[in-house]
Amino acid sequence: MRALIQRVTEASVSVDGDETGAIGPGLLVLICAMQGDSAAEADYLVRKISKLRIFQDSAGKMNRSVQDIDGSVLVVSQFTLAADTRSGNRPGFSAAAPPAEGKVLYQYFADQLAKLDLPVARGSFGADMKVRLLNDGPVTIWMDSADR
């Protein structure tokens, strides 16, 4: 699985003008299941992301996790993280998991974060979404479970 994590002051997602999820301080996680991914990859990213120390402590150092700050997480599916841009000018997305599998892993990922007592808001899998965010820092981090 691939994830793009952004430390945010606030973030929201809407579909057809209706807000489906919103958070205050915390993380916006754009997530993509790849071909061959399973719950093991989602579990790995949940562990890493929930403990990722990218929030400032009292000394101004990035030393606190989203759990430490009692923050929230907005999880948004984004198959375009699977983009292959090596050839031509039109990205290919064949490395992404098929939609049915991707949806299951997306839901599993968000559910596992929620089991850690993190407030989790969600986008709408497969929908044309509008995402608003106020990136804090800015801090943006890329993770791929294949890199472990």
Q: Which residues contact 37 (CB under 8 A, 6 or more apart)?
A: 1, 97, 101, 105, 145
CA distance 19 to 71: 20
- In the chain, how many H helices and how many E strands? 2, 8
Q: What is the pLDDT of residue 129?
A: 98
Task: Write out the catalytic residue numbers.
Answer: 78-80
Residue-wise pLDDT tens digits, 86-128: 999 999 999 999 999 999 999 999 999 999 999 999 999 999 9
In a domain, 148, yes or no: no
Q: How far apart are CA 148 and CA 18, in angstroms?
A: 37
Q: Which amino acid is at 114?
A: A
Gap between the Cα atoms of 69 and 26, Å rounded: 8
pLDDT digits (tens, 9 = 90+) for 8-63: 999 999 999 999 999 999 999 999 999 999 999 999 999 999 999 999 999 999 99
Number of domains in the chain: 1
Q: Is 92 part of a structural domain of the chain?
A: yes
Task: For residues 109 and 31, give the distance between their C-alpha atoms in angstroms, rounded to a whole number.
Answer: 9
- pLDDT given at position 53: 98
pTM of this prediction?
0.96
The token duo for 124 is 């709408």
What domain range includes position 79?
A: 2-143
**For residue 110, what is the domain's CATH number?**
3.50.80.10
